Amino acid sequence: MSLQVAPTGPADQDGVDTAPLALRGLTVAYGAEPVVFSVDMTVAPGAMTAIIGPNGAGKSTLLKASLGIVNPLAGQITYWGDDLARNRNRVAYVPQRASVDWDFPTQVLDVVLMGLYAELGLLRRVRPQHIARAMACLTRVGMQDFADRQIGQLSGGQQQRVFLARALAQHADLFLLDEPFAGVDAATEEAIITVLKSLKDEGKTVVAVHHDLSTVDTYFDNVFLINRRRLGEGPVSEAFTQDALQAAYGGRLSDGLIAAQTG
């Protein structure tokens, strides 16, 4: 006897049902003018994707709208074919460091434990195994010796590592990072990319807003180009082209620089 499974919806022709994150027609405005306009995006599972585009292109807004931090005017946002509410704990977010109030009196370990809130429940009773997990995440980013420090006493690179540790503690499947390498020293950049690549090796999906065009091809598998509108998407070898960069950055990149970036 063969088992018949009734189809539950339209065929997943463009990967929306399996994509860790898919956007369709996403439009976001803070005032009258949309800053993100009718954007489609399909994030490939198990890969590292860079979101690139010039200043003010809407990269941070795209992430924030995807996470419900800002309300879109229109569009569809799905995580593994479903809504965010059902997948919230599978999605970790590392905000732009500049957007965080680092004067807030909190110790490093407490920040990392925030990644475990969904597991800790309403009473947030922290048990030894939670501390051990948070410490393991700090060790993974090389910050185990700073667990008792106030976050305001850390350097920019150390703050970024702590936020990454918080995301690691969540045991998420999709990591959304807003400029994880901005303003960090070379050693921190190396530490962060090593962790992100190891996440990929574990089958996780990584999406990062990224500014340094010279490292796109060594750090990332895929690229998503945006300047208010979607200007390209795909494997770096196909989508990270001179034409696409010219469309995204226009006169803000010299031809020579674009040529150097894309070989």
Residues that bind ligand ATP (CB under 6 A): 30, 35, 53, 55-61
Q: How far is CA 7 from CA 22, 80, 82, 123, 143, in A?
A: 21, 17, 16, 41, 49
Least CB distance to ligand ATP at residue 18 (A):
27
Query: Residue holding tokens 């936020």?
Result: 163
Least CB distance to ligand ATP at residue 36 (A):
7
Supply φ then ψ for residue 232, to 5 degrees: 165, 155
Helix (H) or strand (E) holding 22: strand 22-29
Kindly tell me the sign of the dihedral angle through the C-alpha atoms of 10, 15, 19, 22.
negative
- For residue 236, the one-letter residue type is V
Whether the CB-CB separation of 171 and 140 falls below 8 Å is answered with no
Least CB distance to ligand ATP at residue 28 (A):
8
Least CB distance to ligand ATP at residue 263 (A):
24
